[in-house]
Amino acid sequence: MLKSDRPITILGIETSCDETGAAIIERGQDGRGTILSNIVRSQLREHEAFGGIVPEIAARAHIESLDRLIDSAMADAGIGFQTLSAIAVTAGPGLIGGLLVGTVTAKAIGMVRGLPVIPVNHLEGHALTVGLTENVEPPYLLLLVSGGHTQILAVHDVGDYQRLGTTLDDALGEAFDKTAKLLGLGFPGGPQVERWAQGGNPRRFALPRPMMGRPEAHFSFSGLKNALRLEASKIAPLHDRDIRDLCASFELAVTEAVSDRVKTAMNAYQNLHANRKSWRLVAAGGVAANRKLQTALSDLATEKGFTLHVPPVSLCGDNAAMIAWAGAEHFVRNLPYERGFSARARWPLDGNAPRAIGAGVKA
């Protein structure tokens, strides 16, 4: 673990989607992190009626609450701005309106307080969270599963990422959300589908396992989502038992498909690190909180000689603590960053990854 000659304290700001976040973390001289405060303001009520996130509403909600959240985070941490070493802010990828709220606020504070403002890739925040929670440092294999992204990456070091697989269409979290909307379960979809799946029969509906057995570690979920829609239409109107069985069947199909794709990536990763006797798998992002998926990944990790690391549920979703930590990791390494940076709706972790055939713009 990289050490610093003094503790550093970072203010993190997260506004990439529908959560407004502000947090303070401290990185000790030994490289270990401590969360001094971490506040997340959910916009669930604002978007629930629409069954999904409305970008304009999200940006307005960030404007209304961000200053107050920053004040609360500073107060909870018991520090003043003079204690801060730097500010870390999500600069992308995400909804451009929300990103602009966060980056403009961070730059304004930095200018007034004379603090460096470090632009952080939201995906890198997820990728490095286990360093904050478990002191796990690269290298490791990362499964990133969220509402907007589904990828497998080799994390060689902070700032050094190699994409091994990506989704060709929907992100996994998006597939959960659309499934929940189809079944009338509400938003956000992941927790709703998981809750309804409990007690359901996962073998009642023969849903596909997309991309199973393919040599590359890519994902696809649009066909699975469509197959569930067809099964639901055959037995409409749906009763509670039908919904539970559909959710359980969907969750099992997702778990088996993801496990197969991760296993393929594990083989590739072990070839990259053939000199190692053990390897680590990190699962991050909102969907990583799904318990069935965690169990399947744990079993797979044991089978393949990996150890599995998953952040606590409170840090799987979008939050500012992970942004502050990623900023701290860049700060102590003195990694270069663009001081006049702009918000970016698209910002891949591996900018050199070849385009996956058939993949959409999120790849």
Domains of the chain: 8-135+314-333 (3.30.420.40), 140-313 (3.30.420.40)
Per-residue pLDDT reduced to its tens digit, 14-60: 999 989 999 999 999 999 999 999 999 987 777 777 777 888 888 99
Distance between terminal CA atoms of the chain?
Answer: 31
Q: How much is the average pLDDT of 343-352?
A: 94
Q: In what order do the strands lie in the sheet with 150-157?
A: 160-166, 150-157, 140-145, 279-284, 306-309
Give the HSE-up count for residue 309: Cα atoms under 13 Å, Cβ half-sphere. Answer: 21
Per-residue pLDDT reduced to its tens digit, 271-319: 988 888 889 999 999 999 999 999 999 999 999 999 999 999 999 999 9
What is the C-alpha separation between 157 and 1, in angstroms, rounded?
11
What is the C-alpha separation between 108 and 165, in angstroms, rounded?
38
Per-residue pLDDT reduced to its tens digit, 74-132: 999 999 999 999 999 999 999 999 999 999 999 999 999 999 999 999 999 999 999 99
Kind plus residue range of the DSSP H or E element containing 117? strand 117-121
What is the C-alpha separation between 64 and 69, in angstroms, rounded?
10
Closest CA relative to residue 323, chosen from 28, 54, 52, 94: 94
pLDDT in the model for residue 363? 47
What is the C-alpha separation between 165 and 363, in angstroms, rounded?
9
Q: What is the pTM of this model?
A: 0.94
